[in-house]
Amino acid sequence: MFSISRIQELLKPLPRGQFDRLVAQHGNDRHAKGLRSWDQFLTMACAQLNDRSGLREATVNFNTQKNHHFHLGAKEVRRSTLAEANAKRSPELFADVARSLMAQVHGGERRSCRELLYLLDSTSITLKGRGFDNWTLSNRTCHTQGLKLHLVYEAGAQAPAWHSITAPNVNDRDEGVRVPIQEKATYVFDKGYCDYNWWNSIRESKARFVTRFKKNAAVTVVASRAIPSRAKEIVCDQVVRFAHKSPGGKRVNRYEKPLRRIEVAREGDSPLVLATNDLRTSAVKIAELYRDRWQIELFFKWIKQHLNIKRFMGRSENAVRTQILIALITYLLVVLYKQASRTTASLWEVLMELRSTLFTRPAVQNELYRRRKEREEAFQRMQGGLFA
């Protein structure tokens, strides 16, 4: 009896035909003689799922499952060939694979009636030492040497919806303006993304934003709103306009519509000063939306703890970007697997289950268990007849 393994179930959202079309589009297998991009991806994804941190561990782990290679359409992988593929082949193939899976994860969310909440932030990935210094020293900052991962995280699906990998000296605001804005969605970000003209483009796209004013933001108060007695954390709720159309130099502020300015008290610290174009929702709800921004910080912590984007199998920029992207793809595949199985287990529990049963065939195991129980029950009936 044939049955697909767990890893084949996990890979269902990524059909081989679709993957091969992307490979042809990017030309990653044009000069490949031994290792194909599919084998490269499977080996690196299995390394993420099985918590392998080195090339030798990754290849040995994958090659010990030779009896599964035929059904996966894979071949045995050599360590030196995998190292060369990671170093020389374009990581943009895996960036497109990640975008395809993001579209699948968020397809159901867009069809649902629930309001979409997008959280925008970035995290730094430190890369120092031999091999890394060759390409990271020139664009390092006083705080970071390495790369920066920019993400839009959809809170409902608990998965990334957009990503970008840049040098650490790229300003968050410069990547933020590249984010595609979806109508009727809410975008939450911190004051590192302060760009009044970008805020205006979000408003013109019929979306909401919740962020923070900078200390030097020049605004004039149009009206003050009453604060409900139960909203003890709200210090003030005001409707404001920007005071200057030309902030300085040749810059022009195109945001001419009114904004909300909400001060939220913090224990032992100065109040948070929030800015939003939502003039209807209560101040308490706006404060809760900004508090939800912490979810993307937890996501960054999760992938750094449970997937391998801190220890790298190669020291070239291509190898590092490839490993980060395959870690994102692995996360998205686990999310889709969890959605398909409709389990109530946490994502960590699903990952642990996959980690321990990745190459097992559940249907076969269940059938063998059923047959063994039938034999045991038949044996017990025979024993009862002998001593009756």
Of 166 and 106, more confident: 166
Chain segment 70-96, per-residue pLDDT in tens? 888 889 999 999 999 999 999 999 999
Q: How many CB atoms lie within 10 A of CB 194?
A: 18
CB 213 within 8 A of CB 236: no
On the 0-12 / 13-18 / 19+ scale of CB atoms within 10 A, 360 is middle
Chain segment 240-285, per-residue pLDDT in tens? 999 888 766 677 889 999 999 999 999 888 899 999 999 999 999 9
- Which residue type, as a one-letter code, is found at position 260? R
* Residue 34 confidence (pLDDT): 82
Of 5 and 366, more confident: 5
* Residue 351 confidence (pLDDT): 95
**Quick check: is 365 in a domain?**
no
Place of tokens 């059904």: 71
**Quick check: is 256 in a domain?**
yes
* Residue 265 confidence (pLDDT): 93
Across the range 4-10, mean pLDDT stands at 88
Long-range contacts, 201-207 (Cβ 8 Å, 24+): 201/177, 202/277, 203/255, 203/257, 203/277, 205/181, 207/181, 207/182, 207/183
Q: Which of 261, 283, 305 is the last residue of a domain?
A: 283
Reported residue count of the chain is 388
**Quick check: is 112 in a domain?**
no
Question: Per the structure block, which two tokens stand in for 212?
Answer: 């923070």
Whether residue 345 sits in one domain with residue 272 = no
Q: Is the pLDDT of residue 111 over 50?
A: yes
Whether residue 82 sits in one domain with residue 20 = yes
Selection from 361, 359, 273 nearest residue 66 by Cα: 359
What is the C-alpha radius of gyration for the chain, rounded to an integer number of angstroms? 26
Structural domain boundaries enclosing 260: 210-283
Whether residue 70 sits in one domain with residue 30 = yes
Whether residue 336 sits in one domain with residue 268 = no
**Quick check: is 326 in a domain?**
yes
**Quick check: is 272 in a domain?**
yes
Whether residue 85 sits in one domain with residue 23 = yes
Chain segment 317-349, per-residue pLDDT in tens? 999 999 999 999 999 999 999 999 888 999 999
- What does pTM read for this prediction? 0.89
**Quick check: is 302 in a domain?**
no
Q: Is the pLDDT of residue 2 over 60?
A: no
**Quick check: is 250 in a domain?**
yes
Q: How many CB atoms lie within 10 A of CB 311?
A: 9
- CA 127 to CA 204: how far, in whole Å? 39
Chain segment 130-139, per-residue pLDDT in tens? 999 999 999 9
Q: How many CB atoms lie within 10 A of CB 372?
A: 10
Across the range 167-187, mean pLDDT stands at 94
* Residue 363 confidence (pLDDT): 45
Element (H, E) at 138: none
Whether residue 317 sits in one domain with residue 258 = no
- CA 296 to CA 187: how far, in whole Å? 12
**Quick check: is 347 in a domain?**
yes
Whether residue 320 sits in one domain with residue 278 = no
**Beta strand 208-212 pairing with 186-188:** parallel
Tally the domains of the chain.
Answer: 2
Place of tokens 């003890």: 232
